[in-house]
Structures are given as C-alpha cells and as structure tokens.
Amino acid sequence: MKKTTSLDDLVSEAVSYYWKTRKKQSDKQSTSGRADQGARSAVTGGAQMDGFIKLITKLITEAGTNENHIFYNQHLELPGFFRPTKEWDLLVVKDDQLILALEAKSQVGPSFGNNFNNRTEEAMGSAIDLWTAFREGAFNKTIKPWLGYVFLLEDCPESQRAVRVQEPHFKVFPEFVNASYAKRYEIFCRKLVRERHYNVACFLTSDRQKGLKGRYIEPAGDLTFDIFAKSLIAQIAAFGVPEKR
C-alpha cells in the first residue's frame, strides 16, 4: 500500500528546497568570485520560494483546477490603481476572472530591521493597490478575489531577541514593545488578515542548518499552513473548478 504524503511532509520539502536552493546560489556566487555584499549573495538569485509555489500549485490542481489556469512563471502582472501593474508570485485566472493571487516571501539575517520595513510596506501596498483596482473594475465584476500571503523567516538569535522601539513623540502599540522581529512578523501577518488585506496568511520560521532537513516551526496557531491550505481549497472549490464539458 502506497504511503500518503502528509501536508506537513510537503511543507517540510518546501522548506528544505528553500534552504538548499539558497545555499547553492550562495556557494555558486562565492566560487565565481562575484559574491554580492552580505546575505544578498543568496537572495539575488531568486527561486528560493519555488518549493512553496509548487506545493500550492499541487493543492490547486488536486482541488480540481486545470493547470492552464495557474500562472507562476510568467504572465504574473495584474493591473493596479496606484501603479500600472504589480507582479504577483502566483495567480489563478479562469474565464477572465481573477480567482486568487499569492505572495510568497522570506527573510534571512543579518539586516532584519531594514528588510522588515521593506517587506511589510510591500505586502500592505500590494494588497491596497489590488483591492482599490478591484473596486474600480480593473478585473472581475462580482467574484471577490482571494489573496494569500506566505512568509518564511530565518530562526536565529537575531530574529528572536527583543528589539527596542523609539518613541520620541507618541507611544507605540503595546504589542510591539520589546517584540522580536519574529514576533513582529507574527503580529504583522495576523493584522493583514484581521484588517482584511489578505484572506489568509501563513507564518513559518526555520533554522538555516536544520532547515536543510526540512525542519520548521509554526509560531502561531492561527497562521499555520494547514489553515492557509483549507482557505485556498475553499476558494478553488467555490470558483476555480473548470466547467464540465
């Protein structure tokens, strides 16, 4: 009897793919003598999150959607309201209707501070731009698109230690006081969903050594990949299954 691969195993494979791809890119640039500054040597090559894109594509196809409706390597642009277009990481478009759009992002050290601001501003801006364009009729007349956000953060002392906040004029919200960057990302992902910028968010952390073997942590019970997958499948079941001929 063939053993069924669990969702946890599939996520583990995606995590392992991330770290192995990142290491391969870093090693290649180092041996070529053209390594970028700092950790950028393993980031500029891209493709680290492809394991997650493939996993999500698998979930979509198993839910009944033909892969012809799924876009993850090209044709990823959607019209915006504040800018002409925005390129997403994965789209499902069927019968001229946008069914879902996905962002899959990550961050490793050492520059957690600046990159945290960049990642949060990017995610918020992309969602606001899409929903405003949707309101103005850029795509879809009645079907409300589904937006998903997956984030993988390096689990290390720098991402887990408490970070002081600057309050020269006003007090910050209490949940941010002495919060680590890991906690800040958790709060951010939760607020993206609560404020309805994204339908669902998944937040994972992973150590770069243990991650090579697929080890990961889900710090928050409301931001797990299982919840993400169930929401995704529900959207596909409602709107993404091709008509029978």
Please give the C-alpha separations between residue 45 and each of 48, 79, 150, 194, 229, in angstroms, as whole numbers. 8, 26, 19, 33, 27
Query: Sorting pLDDT into bands at 50, 70 and 90, what band is 27?
Result: confident
Q: What is the percent of the chain where pLDDT is above 90?
A: 77
pLDDT tens sequence across 119-132: 999 999 999 999 99
pLDDT at position 242: 62
Whether the pTM exceeds 0.75: the reply is: yes
Q: Where are the domains of the chain?
A: 7-240
pLDDT at position 4: 60
Query: Sorting pLDDT into bands at 50, 70 and 90, what band is 164?
Result: very high
**Lowest-pLDDT range of 24-28, 37-41, 235-239:** 37-41
Please give the C-alpha separations between residue 39 and each of 30, 108, 155, 163, in angstroms, as whole numbers. 11, 8, 15, 21
pLDDT at position 181: 96
How far is Cα 236 from Cα 126, in angstroms, rounded to an integer? Answer: 22
pLDDT at position 71: 96
Side-chain-side CA neighbours of 228 within 13 Å: the count stands at 29
pLDDT at position 59: 96
Query: Sorting pLDDT into bands at 50, 70 and 90, what band is 110?
Result: confident
- Give 7: exposed, middle or buried? Use CB within 10 Å, 0-12, 13-18, 19+: middle
Q: What is the percent of the chain where pLDDT is above 70?
A: 89
Task: For residue 69, report the phi and psi dihedrals to the nearest 5 degrees.
Answer: -90, -5
pLDDT at position 141: 82
Reply yes or no on whether the pLDDT at 2 is more than 80: no
pLDDT at position 33: 59
